Amino acid sequence: MSNINNYKTIRATFNKDTIIVYQAFNDKIADEAVKLQKFGNEFSFRRMTWIKPSFLWMMERSNWANKVNQNRILEIHLKRDFWNKCLELAVDTDASKSNKNIKDAQILVQWDPERTLRGAKLNIRSIQIGVSRNMINEYNENIERIVDLTEKAKKMYLLNTNGKFDKSTQLLPKTKEYKIV
C-alpha cells in the first residue's frame, strides 16, 4: 500500500506499540468487549469488521453514537504489528472494483471523505480497514486495550449541537500522520 498521497493520508493516534482505531457497536457487544478487553460471544466472528483510525469519520458513521446498533463507541488500542500487517495485505476496493481479488481478500481498504466537527466533507480521504472473518481472531488477539468513548462522543455531540465547537475541538484525539514503512 505504497500509493498513499496527500489526498489519501492515514492520520491516527499512536505510539511505538499501538494504534487507536474506532468501532461502533450495540450495548451487548460493547459491554462485553470493555469487560473482557477483547471481543467475546456477542461479537460476530463470522463476518467482516471495519476499523477506522479517524475519530470524526466514526462519529459521522455512527451519527455521534445515535444510530441503532452503533450507539456505543469503542476506542481500540491495536498492536501496530498487526495494523502494519493489515496494510501489507490490503486490497483497495476503489482500485479493484472489477477485480476478483476483493472476494478473496483477507483485508479490504476503503478511503472515505474525512469530516469536520460539523460533518462537512474535507478534500482528503481517511482509511478504513475491513478485517475478513479469516483474520478476525488474529485481530482480537492483537487488541491491547478497549476504552468506551460513548460518553465523550455524546458530550461532543451536545457541544456541537449547541454551537460550542471550540470546546468540542478540545476533546478531539491528537492525531499525526502514520507513515507506512
- Distance between CA atoms of residues 113 and 46, nearest Å: 28
List, as one string, the DSSP characters of 13-78.
Answer: -B-SSEEEEEEEE-HHHHHHHHHHTS--TTS-SSS-EEEBS-HHHHHHHHTTTTSTT--EEEEEEE
pLDDT tens profile 139-162: 999 999 999 999 999 999 999 999
- Full-model pTM: 0.93
Q: What mean pLDDT, rounded, does the chain reach?
A: 93
Q: Are the CB atoms for 39 and 140 separated by under 8 Å?
A: yes
| SS3 (DSSP) at 176 | strand
Mean pLDDT of 9-22: 97
96: confidence class by pLDDT, cuts 50, 70, 90: low
